[in-house]
Structure 1
Amino acid sequence: MMNRKLKKIYISCDMEGINGVCSDRHREMGNLFYEWARQQTTRELSTVISEFKKRGVEEFVVNDSHDYMLNLHIDELPEGTSLISGTHKTDSMMEGVDAGFDGAVFIGYHGRCGLHRAVLSHTYSDSIYHAEINGIWFGETTINAAYCGEKDIPVLLVSGDDVLADEVRRLATGTKSVITKYGISRSAGRMLHPAQVTGHYQKAVEEVCQSEIKPFRLESPYHLAITLREPQMVDIALRVPGTVRTGESSLEFSHNDYITTYRAFLAIQTLASGSYLK
């Protein structure tokens, strides 16, 4: 059984891993299929919240974690939910995480950058070509799970494609995966019927409540090794104190504190994204 009673859950909700989503036309605001994708995201999120509510969870804090982070509407979410919405958040996809949560859930997540079969794969932004922390090739699931682990919070459940499920297994924490689709390429996938995905969520939540799930932790010191897509991205990212250039398009950063390391990564990818020459 869980080593703690679940009463308050943090949910980070992305979009690329949602069932049916496979294109920029789905994930970018104003594009042809965005509104459908936004509604499908809300449906999957609401399913998870409802299933946990049936099992006694009383409070949910949802962090809209996709793109401009303005995709979810609070009036469309179940009662007992509060929503962190808006773009400028110091800790981005992990904004609002603190030791008061009994567990975390990642909805609509995706594979890490560089995986050919992971649908809409990237690691925080398309400026990142490859990223490692303490020698581990990481995606958003891993680096965000480590953030939660720093607060002693286990990641209970992660949803996304079958490629992402492998990254979840590598955490070795007992975290449950919900497969929403099967990757074919970065822009194509085999989608499951929504009723089947709902069943996967129901089964996973039931398993969470019957399982021992541990927080994911990395050992200090923390060492980032990042390859960016263009050399000029490194030129600008070196503005982050403590970064060291290690190649034409690569740099490193080390620190004894995880939150500082996480924020350094966010700053590096943000500066790199803004420096891209068109």
Structure 2
Amino acid sequence: MRVYLSVDMEGITGLVDAQDVQPTGRDYEHSRLMMAEDVNAAIRGALTAGATGVTVNDAHGPMRNLRSDMLHPAARLIRGRPKAMGMLEGLDGTFDAALCIGYHSRAGTAGVLSHSFMGREIEDMWLDGRPVGEIGLTHATAAALGVPVVLLSGDDAACVEMAEWDPNVRTVPVKYARGRFAAELLPVAEAHEAIESAAATCLTGELTAPPASETTTLAVRWQSTAVADELRNLPGVTGRDDRTIAISGQPLEVYRQFRVWMNVAGALGNQPPYC
């Protein structure tokens, strides 16, 4: 059994603030350790369930957060950027299951460090008319590859968002939002035990990806009209209003196109990754 882990940082045990998750933050180095420990808990659970191969993709910000010397020796790490598939780099149909560790809720929700991919640039997103963020788009893209997402860890808002998207995905809340930059935290040992136990349990059942649409439509409302103006020049992109653009096509192609949109928006905005 091959298991894939997409690992973000905002939903990691104990982290609540930009100072925790940005490389210039005063608590970032400690947060890297916390990130590795959540990941290692999930890896231990996967191994208990019989995983013969584990691949971890560092999916946060610069994508150089996880240190290879802190990672469980049974796992391979994908680190650095740019990556054509971003948060899902390395995932393909040979994997039996995917786990989302340290994820957060979408922009506009009352979750810890909530945003959608680019906190300053993206105001809202919709997938086939449904509000979506990193959780939903990751789930839909994995399904298009034939891989089921079976576990998500993060704050309670992220867990609710995943349950609304797919109630079959097991969720592990490691903290409870008290605001965008505050949370009630589970004790660290308890959080790690919950992640490990959930990973072991969810990987022992039937692993079947949900059906994927042949075509999908992604719409994004940007904070800046300049971004929307520039992106409307790309083939297949249509404008819905001054700040909202959309594209339709095969799910994997739509996801890859969105990755290009973010690169363009980052170059135009010249802003830090979020907050």
Structure 2 length as normaliser, TM-score? 0.93
**Contact 1:173 1:216 (8 Å CA) reproduced:** no
Q: Distance in 2 between matches of 1:183 and 1:226?
A: 26
Question: Does residue 63 of structure 2 align to residue 69 of structure 1?
Answer: yes
Compute the displacement of 1:204 (Å).
1.2
- Please point out which of 238, 241, 259 is paired with 1:266: 259
Question: Does residue 86 of structure 2 align to residue 123 of structure 1?
Answer: no
Deviation track 1:43-74 (CA, whole Å, cap 9, x = no partner) reads 11011101221222121111110111111122
Compute the displacement of 1:84 (Å).
0.6
Stretch deviating more after TM superposition (237-246 or 128-137): 237-246
**Contact 2:58 2:87 (8 Å CA) reproduced:** yes
- The aligned counterpart of 2:12 is 18
- The aligned counterpart of 1:59 is 53
**Contact 2:59 2:86 (8 Å CA) reproduced:** yes
Identity of aligned residues (%): 28
Aligned residue for 1:50, secondary structure, equals helix
Distance 1:216 1:137, change over 3 A: farther
**Contact 2:41 2:193 (8 Å CA) reproduced:** no
Aligned residue for 1:108, secondary structure, equals strand
Structure 1 length as normaliser, TM-score? 0.92
Aligned residue for 1:166, secondary structure, equals helix
Q: How many residues align?
A: 270
Question: Does residue 210 of structure 2 align to residue 229 of structure 1?
Answer: no
Stretch deviating more after TM superposition (102-111 or 69-78): 69-78
**Contact 1:148 1:216 (8 Å CA) reproduced:** no
Q: Distance in 2 between matches of 1:152 and 1:121?
A: 28
Equivalence map 1:58-137=2 (5 Å): 58-115=52-109, 117-126=110-119, 127-137=121-131
Moved over 6 A (4+): none
Query: RMSD of aligned C-alpha atoms?
Result: 1.6
Q: Which stretches in structure 1 are left out of the alignment for 5+ residues?
A: 1-6
- The aligned counterpart of 2:245 is 251
Q: Which stretches in structure 2 are left out of the alignment for 5+ residues?
A: none
Stretch deviating more after TM superposition (213-222 or 88-97): 213-222
**Contact 1:9 1:60 (8 Å CA) reproduced:** yes
- The aligned counterpart of 1:49 is 43
Q: Which amino acid aligns with 1:258?
A: P
Q: Distance in 2 between matches of 1:104 and 1:125?
A: 23
- Please point out which of 176, 199, 202 is paired with 1:205: 199
Question: Does residue 143 of structure 2 align to residue 145 of structure 1?
Answer: no
Stretch deviating more after TM superposition (214-223 or 171-180): 214-223
